[in-house]
Structure 1
Amino acid sequence: MLLRKLSLLLVLLCGTVALNASTILIPMDDKQTDHLKAYGIAYWVLDNQIDAWWLLNYRGGSFAFTHSRAFERECLTRGVKYEVIPDAKFNAILEDISNPEKNMDAMRLEKAPKVAVYTPEFNFREGTKVQPWDDAVTLVLTYAEIPYETVYDDEVLGDKLAEYDWLHLHHEDFTGQFGRFYRSFHTAPWYRRQVAYQEEIAERNGYEKVSQLKLDVVKKVREFVGGGGFMFAMCSATDSYDIALAADGVDICAQYYDGDPIDPQAQSKLDFSKTFAFENFKLQRKPLEYEFSSIDHNPRRVSQKQDYFTLFDFSAKWDPVPTMLTQNHTRTVKGFMGQTTAFRKEHIKSSVLILGENKPAQEARYIHGNYGEGFFSFYAGHDPADYRHLVNDPETDLSLHPMSPGYRLILNNILFPAAKKKKRKT
């Protein structure tokens, strides 16, 4: 491994000298042929201990780094459009970006973040090696060729999160209600095996109930974020995470899920001061309903043709964090559904930034905030390239969606921890 890195470094140095100090620019506007793999190139450069630039709001949030033949070959291999420009031209671009009249900024990326995905490795679907649902984050990480490791309850409880910079929460139900799939799937083999698997983990770790296990997991994740980590969640892992925190010490699970009734005073016992993003929500008291609370904007009166959300346009120089998280080649993103499809604005704390919203429907789709020294982003919906992705549907082929703006938002979060931190000024 050491010899390989030294050989690559030699190639980088020789290539740079040969091209007389030039720069590779990866445009991220409509000229790019594969936006998703472009993030993988940026990550690969950082992983080879070479700094890069993220040019916020310049041609869709372009990337730039010192030219080498190795980097150029990698762009060609992965099908990513790039331009080789003289350093004088790149310096002119940086000077233009620094103009205070222009809403752009140049963010230096310094270190490839170590990525973990919280997901079970258990085989829920008989006869195959996949779960009965896929996960947009693992799909796009694999497609973009960004390495990641998996963790689950044992690793989280064993304090393994300290080894990572970035954590994604797979589509989990942290309330211990097994996704509220009981009415539709309680006789399905995968559902029975999922319940047995979760109960076995709980028992192995000394818990009487799965809900108690998951509560301690969310608390460990909270420690990870508070200590400076970055947590990203989608779909049911967003609202169920906060519901579990608010219900600390309160039984909110009906007998279908933990063998005894829900606490009749559960709603009044919720503590919203413990949550990351949501407050004043109402629990769904009908235990067989496929819904956790009033956080999710349900029922929705938005047709598929009208289901779009708009990304806010932040000041790149004054608010670099939300600017990084909303980089895209379009400000309008096609909506997509999930168990948690959208967030009701009235339940979002004032300290949380709304990054993307469907204004006519008064719903937020993409939000961000900080806790302690760290950050979190919640992204509603299941699959940005599949409007209504159901259990047992085949996984999305991202080679058919290389310019997906919805998937770009996920990858913005991946690169965010690599940025040299600037204090937010507003």
Structure 2
Amino acid sequence: MYRKLPLLLLFVVLATVARASTILIPMDETQTDHLKAYGITFWVLNNDIEAWWLLNYRGGSFAFQHSRAFERECLTRGVKYEVIPDTRFNGILEEIADPERNMDAMKLEKAPKIAVYTPDYNFREGTEVQPWDDAVTLVLTYAEIPYETIYDTEVLNDELAEYDWLHLHHEDFTGQFGRFYRSFHTAPWYRRQVAYQEELAAANGYEKVSQLKLGVVKKVREYVGGGGFMFAMCSATDSYDIALAADGVDINAQYYDGDGIDPQAQEKLDFSKTFAFENFQLERNPLEYEFSSIDHNPRPVTPEQDYFTLFDFSAKWDPVPTMLTQNHVRTVKGFMGQTTAFRNQHIKSSVLVLGENKPASEARYIHGQFGEGFFTFYGGHDPADYRHLVNDPETDLSLHPNSPGYRLILNNILFPAAKKKKRKT
């Protein structure tokens, strides 16, 4: 039998329903700090509260249940938010579900555990910094997203299994010390780098730094193949694949390992082992600040014309690339690095181009799957500094809180938190 609720209890229930609300963090041009908005969402997930990533809705907005604590945190971090009734939020979900709308609602379930592959030594005398910064660690710190650092020994000891997401710091995995020899071989920081890497190789049972780095690269490949998420920028992109292709082949000149290059090195490369690139030519001049023909150098664009366009994917059919390209703009200002852009002719057909400079015929942002896991390669060094040089001061992200280029990094960080959907294509 149906029984009516007591009048007082009915008032309590109605009041509770009326107060039920959602925090919406808009990610369109109205957002005051796009980068810290990711940190807020990560913080909510770390508090065991699920969140929504509203793909292509107002620039890829976030939403989660309202609480006074979450509201205070948004105010503290300077992130714009809206408190909306649950009825309105349900209406937004209905709008997103419309098959005529290129939108999707992705549930974020758990904050990923993040590892940054970076050395623990300091190059520059009298300071606590290296002679270059790293965009990922800068934005993680600015957004207040926690991470841990690991390096060669930890990777070789199979500690990657403890993490959901791995970033490869600005690194040379070929063992050529960034090919800085011609310009910096007399610099104290360079000599320390070489000594540190050689000591690290010996401590892990390797005769050469190139052999140490190859061991690391193979461990990372195992990690990705087993379901890990790997993100790399700048020289960590092409040097990673070059090391895989050159497995068992000496591609380093005497400046870097004490003996010469294998004369048949180019012919012995095995492109079946690489993640993203194939059919590239090694740079044979050991003093050239370049690894191979993967990097589009020289580039047929001026700084004023240097922009790349993000592809517009179908949110409901291709949620993964849609997540990775969420932004409040579709055209992003380019930026330089040791590895700036990828020649299209060297990108494998299995790899998805997420952003490209079409007039220059170059890709800037690519993504692919290896085994059960995923990798993303992002060309360039610092999205907020067009030509960041060795010994330049690190970027102050409080001056760039709405950087579209930095948003792409943070898309990758939240990607592992998404509830997986089977791809429909």
Which band: TM-score by shorter chain? Answer: over 0.9
Relative to structure 1, the CA distance from residue 340 to residue 19 in structure 2 (aligned partners, 3 Å threshold; closer, same or farther) is farther
In the alignment, structure 1 residue 364 sits paired with structure 2 residue 363:
yes
| Secondary structure of the structure 2 residue equivalent to 1:191 | helix
Give the SS at the match of 2:116: strand
Q: Please give the secondary structure, in 2, of the residue aligned with 1:107.
A: strand
2:270 aligns with 271
- Which residue of structure 2 aligns with residue 339 of structure 1? 338
- Which residue in the other structure is 2:211 paired with? 212
CA distance in 1, matches of 2:302, 2:365: 19
Deviations 1:9-33 (A, max 9, x none): xxxxxxx959721000000000000
The alignment partner of 1:322 has SS state of: helix
1:80 aligned to 2:79? Answer: yes
Which residue does 1:236 correspond to in 2?
235
Residue 87 of structure 2 aligns with an amino acid whose one-letter code is: A
Give deviations 1:128-184, integer Å, cap 9, x for gaps: 010000000000000000000000001000100000000000000000000000000
For the pair 1:417 / 2:421, whether they are aligned, the reply is: no
Task: Give deviations 1:106-127, integer Å, cap 9, x for gaps.
Answer: 0000000000000001011111
Q: 1:280 and 1:349 mapped to 2: Cα distance?
A: 9
* Max Rg structure: 2
Q: Please state if 1:245 is matched with 2:233.
A: no
Structure 2 length-normalised TM: 0.96
3-state DSSP class of the match of 1:154? helix
**CA distance, structure 1, for counterparts of residue 64 and residue 16 of structure 2:** 14
The secondary structure found in structure 1 opposite 2:230 is strand
User: Residue 329 of structure 2 corresponds to which residue in structure 1?
Assistant: 330
Change (3 A) 1:163 1:19: farther
Q: Secondary structure at the match of 1:231?
A: strand
Match of 1:299 in 2: 298
Cα distance, 1:301 vs structure 2: 1.5
Instruction: Say whether the 8 Å CA contact 1:137–1:168 is kept in structure 2.
Output: yes
What is aligned with 2:383? 384
1:156-305 correspondence to structure 2 within 5 Å: 156-305=155-304
1:187-225 deviations in Å (ceiling 9; x for gaps): 000000000000000000110000000000000000110
Equivalent residue of 1:355, what SS? strand
Q: Output one character per residue of 1:325-375: Cα deviation in whole Å (capped at 9) or x when no partner.
A: 000000000000000000000000000000000000000000000000000
Residue 99 of structure 1 deviates from its aligned partner by 0.2
- Name the aligned partner's letter for residue 243 of structure 2: A
CA distance in 1, matches of 2:124, 2:175: 20
Alpha-carbon distance in structure 1 between the residues aligned to 2:196 and 2:105: 47
Which consecutive segments of 4 or more residues in structure 1 shift more than 2 A?
A: 16-19
Distance in 2, matches of 1:178 and 1:188, equals 13
Instruction: Please tell me whether the aligned partners of residues 19 and 67 of structure 1 are also in contact (alpha carbons under 8 angstroms).
Output: no
The CA deviation at 1:424 is 1.5
RMSD over aligned CA atoms reads 0.9
SS in 2 for 1:357: strand
The one-letter code of the counterpart of 1:80 is V
* Separation in structure 2 between the aligned mates of residue 389 and residue 310 of structure 1, nearest angstrom: 22
Aligned-partner Cα distance in 2 for 1:19–1:211: 64
What is the rounded CA distance, in whole Å, between the counterparts of 1:358 and 1:88 in structure 2?
42
In structure 1, distance between residues paired with 2:188 and 2:424: 53
Mapped to 2, the partners of 1:67 and 1:353 lie a distance apart of 37
**Cα deviations by residue, 1:23-62 (Å, 9 ceiling, x for unpaired):** 0000000000000000000000000000000000000000
Q: Following the alignment from structure 2 to structure 1, what is the Cα–Cα distance between the partners of residues 17 and 29?
A: 30
SS, match of residue 46 in structure 1: helix
Distance, in Å, in 2 between the alignment partners of 1:349 and 1:126 is 42
Q: Secondary structure at the match of 1:376?
A: strand
Distance 1:192 1:85, change over 3 A: same
The equivalent of 1:351 in structure 2 is 350
For 1:359 and 1:17, locate their aligned partners in 2 and report how far apart those are by CA, in whole Å.
54
Distance in structure 1 (CA, Å) of the matches to 2:173 and 2:324:
25
* Letter matched to residue 128 of structure 2: K
> Which blocks of at least 5 consecutive residues in structure 1 are unaligned?
1-15
CA-CA distance at 1:423 after TM superposition: 1.5
Q: Distance in 2 between matches of 1:230 and 1:118?
A: 13
CA deviation profile, 1:286-320 (whole Å, cap 9, x unmatched): 00000000000011111000000000000000000
> Aligned in 2, Cα 1:18/1:127: closer, same or farther, shift over 3 Å?
farther
**Count of equivalent residues:** 411
Q: TM-score under structure 1 normalisation?
A: 0.96
Letter in 2 for 1:99: D
Secondary structure at the aligned position of 2:19 is classed as coil
Which residue matches 2:11? Answer: none
CA–CA distance in structure 2, aligned partners of residues 277 and 20 of structure 1: 50
Structure-2 separation of matches of 1:210 and 1:378:
23
Aligned equivalent of 2:27: 28
Structure 2: runs of 5+ lacking an equivalent: 1-14
Using the TM superposition, give the Cα deviation of residue 266 of structure 1 relative to its aligned residue in structure 2, in angstroms.
0.2
Indicate if the aligned counterparts of 1:218 and 1:241 stay in contact, CA closer than 8 A. yes
Residue pair 1:54, 1:61 contacting (<8 A) in 2 also = yes
Contact 1:252–1:266 under 8 Å retained in 2: yes
Whichever residue aligns with residue 259 of structure 1, its letter is: G
CA distance in 2, matches of 1:32, 1:17: 30
1:361-411 Cα offsets, whole Å, 9 max, x none, are: 000000000000000000000000000000000000000000000000000
Residue matched to 1:374: 373
Match of 2:58 in 1: 59
Partner of 1:40: helix, strand, or coil?
helix
Assess if the C-alpha contact under 8 Å between 1:25 and 1:85 holds in 2: yes
